[in-house]
Chains A and B, each alone.
Chain A
Amino acid sequence: GAGVSQSPSNKVTEKGKDVELRCDPISGHTALYWYRQSLGQGLEFLIYFQGNSAPDKSGLPSDRFSAERTGGSVSTLTIQRTQQEDSAVYLCASSEINRNTNEKLFFGSGTQLSVL
């Protein structure tokens, strides 16, 4: 596709339920990132994928959070047993990995997660 696509755009769930958020990166981008943006805050790094492996998952806040990437393309962020403090916008980004452009991230429009 032309840009990074995320679905759903908005998700409302009940406390204790599991949710899955999807990210479809720009075709050919080998790097993929998940960030979380809580109300009134900047973006908080969650995890970084290079291909299908995650060399940096230092930002995942608890073991309720997990992510996977398959085929070097689509990624899914899963939050188990959601809590109200998980309410936030979850943003995905992708980038090429080469000498000249590896630090240029392209972001999707995010998923607004609301936990009631």
Chain B
Amino acid sequence: AQTVTQSQPEMSVQEAETVTLSCTYDTSENNYYLFWYKQPPSRQMILVIRQEAYKQQNATENRFSVNFQKAAKSFSLKISDSQLGDTAMYFCAFMKHPGAGSYQLTFGKGTKLSVIP
């Protein structure tokens, strides 16, 4: 079974500054996907960024980037130039490669990020 751990229940950052959210995971799989999802008060989970485990290059999406350390099973999210709209819960998630016949996501418990004006 897979587990995902987010060790920071809450974090805050000043507007325009940079913040890093931590995530570690445990799996015996070699091929998998990792995700960061954002959940604003509207409750809708929004995909922020995804990483394929077989790719060494870290994924980036505009102000969002990850530091993927496969050997250490670490997958942190860096948000640059933080904006007020980034205030939300952030969830790290794991999915075995769909070739395994399952599309089940395993989520961490989340980090509540507050961006301070």
Binding site for B on A (CB under 8 A): 31, 33, 35, 40-45, 48, 55-56, 58-59, 89, 91, 93, 95, 102-110, 112
Contacts and interface: CB of A to CB of B under 8 A. Distances in A.
Interface of B: 4, 33, 42-47, 50, 91, 93, 95, 98, 101-110
Contact of A109 (B33, B42, B93, B103): B42
B102 A42 contact: no
Contacts of A40: 109
B105 A43 contact: yes
B88 to A, nearest CB: 13
Given A93-B45, A110-B44, A104 B50 contact: yes
Contact of B104 (A59, A95, A110, A112): A59
A71 to B, nearest CB: 20
Contact of A48 (B43, B50, B102, B110): B102
B45 A91 contact: yes
30 contacts: A31-B103, A33-B105, A42-B107, A42-B108, A43-B107, A44-B107, A45-B104, A45-B105, A48-B102, A48-B103, A55-B101, A56-B101, A56-B102, A56-B103, A89-B43, A93-B45, A95-B103, A102-B98, A102-B103, A103-B33, A103-B98, A103-B103, A105-B47, A105-B105, A107-B44, A107-B45, A109-B43, A109-B44, A110-B43, A112-B43
A59 B42 CA distance: 25
Given A40-B109, A43-B91, A56 B104 contact: yes
Nearest to A44: B107
B103 A33 contact: yes
B51 to A, nearest CB: 11
B42 A41 contact: no
Contacts of A89: 43
Contacts of A42: 4, 91, 107-110
A48 B106 CA distance: 13
